[in-house]
């Protein structure tokens, strides 16, 4: 008996020694930095005013939309923050990720339970006589995380929470930007519709003048038909603008979580907002504050941790167990001190043949890591591309706005001269219509350029991960 016990202890000691040796084998996974996108020293646009900032994905984005000074926009963005369905979904997914983190962390804690039961069995040595055994007790088990498998699983789950937090920020920023861009497009249509309305009034006056001259025999019927055609065509343009406005209004309703049937935005033809100025020296916080980039980084790190956890599955599992309670053939004696029982043990398990299950798990985790690297690289490259796009757009649109202003001034002067010369019979009615069409086109194009400037400004704010005031 002594020899058997000694051999058993020696075997356990050898197994534990082997486990400690295996524990020295690292399951950490490193990523070659050459596979990640290099950060440029500065943006191509912006005259080198942009510098790289340190990571700060948890930094507040600020109420950047208030820089536009529009109370209606402020209200819409705040409503979107409360009722936008994409934000609500992202919030629920964050809560789900936090719950999964709690469940994963629970595997690293001692597991305690209570049990009780009664068993009736026949005992061969007792001549087939039946016997009853009543038990009641408590059980405790704890898995020793000797190789870091459980800690890496918890680390991966924690990074999943960070990713969901970043995705919530991304959903919130996206909803805010979508509301602002749709709102600016709608307000531009209001201004454009007002220009078309003024043009219709001008065409109406021209038609009355031409009809009087036709009745007096001064002009041909062709001149009347031309003005009527121009008037009807402009009316059609106005109706098309109304249709586009209705579509944008319905889109904003969805963004703020309202029914399109019960939602409306009052027309505001005199809308003249101020375009915020990007101050010099604003850091290009693309990698620091863009929530989608932060989410991609957290996903990459989580995949990295899961590769380590999958590799740790090749090592033995060591579980410590303990149990204590009472056992008695008589129910009345169950809780007597003489009926007490207890046990303490350690279990070491190491599967030898599993049909390739563990290797498949490692291969799957490694493939997920490759996906994470590629996704992060793509997200970073797209982020820099979007900032460059919006900076270029703002610069070129500013120049285009200046050129369009000069075009309006010239077209307005041409219309005034044409009206005067037409009344004096020095030019044809066709020349007057051409001048009026040119002025209308120039004014509408100016509004469209202004709308594009606001769209790009919001796009730049989104590309930078939020407003610079924060």
> Residue 338 has which token pair?
């003489």
User: Residue 136: inside a domain, yes or no?
Assistant: no
Residue 5 lies in a domain: no
Bridge partners, 103 (sequence order):
none
- Helix segments in 256-290, DSSP class H: 286-289
What is residue 417's predicted lDDT score, i.e. its pLDDT?
A: 92
Position 18 pLDDT exceeds 70: no
Given a contact cutoff of 8 angstroms between Cβ atoms, the answer to whether 203 and 231 are in contact is yes
Would you place residue 285 in the very low, low, confident or very high pLDDT band (cuts 50, 70, 90)? low
pLDDT recorded at residue 282: 54
In a domain, 126, yes or no: no
**Mean pLDDT value across residues 444-455:** 92
447 close to 409: Cβ distance less than 8 angstroms: no
Is the residue at 222 inside a domain? Answer: yes
- Give the CATH number of the domain where residue 196 resides: 1.20.1600.10
C-alpha torsion sign, points 415, 421, 422, 426? negative
> Which 3 state secondary structure label does DSSP give 69?
coil
% of the chain with per-residue pLDDT over 90: 24
Say if 131 falls within a structural domain: no
Confidence of residue 79 (pLDDT cuts 50, 70, 90): very high
pLDDT at 279: 61
For residue 390, give every residue at least 6 positions away whose Cβ sits within 8 Å of its Cβ, in sequence order, or none: 456, 457, 459, 460, 463
- Is the pLDDT at 15 greater than 70? The verdict is no
Asked if residue 194 is part of any domain, the answer here is yes
Backbone angle region of 143, left / alpha / beta, with phi > 0 → left and psi within -120 to 50 → alpha = beta
Q: What angle do CA 370, 376, 377 make, to 5 degrees?
A: 90
Tokens, residue 149 = 């498998």
Q: Report how far residue 97's alpha carbon sits from residue 450's, in angstroms, rounded to the nearest whole number.
A: 43
Q: Which domain holds residue 233?
A: 30-109+148-318+363-463
pLDDT digits (tens, 9 = 90+) for 360-377: 888 888 898 889 888 888
* 8-state DSSP, 427: S
Could you give the CA distance from residue 327 to residue 132 in angstroms, rounded to a whole number? Answer: 10
The CA distance from 108 to 157, in Å, is 13
Task: Give residue-wise pLDDT tens across range 300-310.
Answer: 888 888 888 88
Q: What is the distance between the alpha carbons of residues 171 and 166, in angstroms, rounded to a whole number?
A: 9
Task: Give how far Cα 380 sits from Cα of 44, 200, 370, 372, Å.
Answer: 16, 50, 16, 12
In this structure, is residue 14 part of a structural domain? no
Residue 28: pLDDT over 70: no
DSSP character for 38?
P
- Residue environment code for 247-263, b if the CB has 16+ CB neighbours within 10 A, otherwise e: ebbbbbbbbbbbeeeee
Q: What is the mean pLDDT of residues 277-287?
A: 58
Complete edge-to-edge strand list for the sheet that includes strand 130-144:
111-122, 130-144, 317-328, 340-349
**What is the pLDDT, as a whole number, of residue 280?**
57
Which of 123-127, 179-183, 296-300 has the lowest average pLDDT?
123-127
Q: In Å, how far are 326, 394, 449 from 400, measured between CA atoms?
A: 89, 10, 7
**pLDDT, tens only, 381-396:** 888 888 888 888 988 9
pLDDT attached to residue 213: 82
Residue found by looking up tokens 């693309």 in the block: 286
Confidence of residue 23 (pLDDT cuts 50, 70, 90): very low
Per the structure, the count of domains in the chain is 1
- Distance CA(341)–CA(327), nearest Å, equals 7
- The pLDDT, as a whole number, for residue 12 is 40
Which residues 6+ apart lie within 8 Å of 344 measured at CB? 321, 322
The angle formed by the CA atoms of residues 287, 289 and 293, to the nearest 5 degrees, is: 50
Domain contains 345: no
| Cβ proximity of 286 and 39 under 8 Å | no
What mean pLDDT, rounded, does the chain reach? 79
């Amino acid at each position: 008996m002594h020899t058997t016990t000694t051999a058993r202890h020696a075997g356990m000691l050898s197994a534990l020694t082997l486990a400690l040796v295996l524990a020295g084998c690292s399951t950490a996974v490193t990523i070659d930095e050459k596979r990640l996108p290099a950060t440029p020293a500065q943006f191509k646009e912006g005259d080198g005013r942009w510098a790289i900032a340190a990571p700060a994905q948890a930094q507040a984005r600020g109420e950047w939309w208030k820089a536009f000074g529009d109370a209606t926009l402020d209200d819409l963005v705040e409503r979107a923050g409360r009722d936008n369905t994409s934000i609500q979904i992202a919030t629920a997914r964050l809560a789900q990720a936090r719950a999964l983190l709690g469940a994963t962390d629970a595997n690293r804690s001692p597991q305690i339970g209570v049990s009780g039961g009664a068993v009736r069995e026949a005992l061969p040595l007792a001549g087939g006589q039946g016997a009853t055994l009543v038990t009641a007790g408590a059980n405790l088990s704890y898995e020793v995380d000797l190789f870091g498998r459980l800690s890496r699983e918890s680390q991966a789950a924690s990074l999943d929470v960070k990713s969901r937090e970043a995705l919530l920020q991304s959903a919130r920023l996206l909803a805010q930007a979508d509301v602002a861009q749709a709102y600016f497009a709608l307000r531009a249509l209001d201004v454009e519709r007002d220009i078309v309305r003024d043009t219709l009034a001008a065409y109406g006056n021209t038609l009355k003048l031409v009809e009087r001259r036709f009745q007096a025999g001064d002009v041909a019927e062709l001149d009347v038909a031309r003005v009527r055609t121009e008037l009807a065509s402009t009316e059609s343009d106005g109706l098309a603008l109304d249709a586009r406005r209705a579509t944008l209004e319905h889109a904003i309703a969805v963004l703020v979580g309202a029914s399109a049937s019960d939602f409306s935005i009052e027309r505001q033809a005199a809308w003249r907002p101020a375009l915020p100025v990007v101050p010099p020296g604003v850091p290009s916080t693309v990698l620091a504050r863009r929530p989608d980039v932060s989410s991609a980084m957290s996903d990459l790190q989580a995949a990295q941790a899961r590769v380590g956890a999958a590799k740790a599955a090749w090592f033995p599992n060591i579980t410590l167990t303990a149990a204590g309670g009472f056992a008695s053939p008589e129910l009345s004696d169950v809780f007597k001190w003489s009926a007490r029982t207890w046990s303490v043990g350690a279990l070491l398990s190491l599967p030898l043949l599993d049909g390739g299950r563990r290797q498949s798990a490692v291969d799957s985790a490694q493939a997920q890591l490759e996906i994470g690297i590629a996704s992060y690289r793509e997200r970073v490259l797209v982020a820099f591309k979007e900032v460059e796009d919006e900076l270029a757009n703002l610069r070129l649109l500013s120049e285009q706005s200046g050129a369009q202003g000069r075009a309006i001034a010239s077209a307005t002067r041409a219309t005034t001269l044409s009206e005067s010369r037409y009344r004096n019979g020095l030019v044809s009615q066709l020349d007057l219509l051409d001048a009026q069409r040119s002025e209308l086109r120039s004014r509408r194009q100016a509004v469209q350029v202004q709308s594009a400037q606001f769209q790009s400004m919001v796009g730049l704010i989104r590309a930078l991960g939020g407003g610079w005031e924060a």
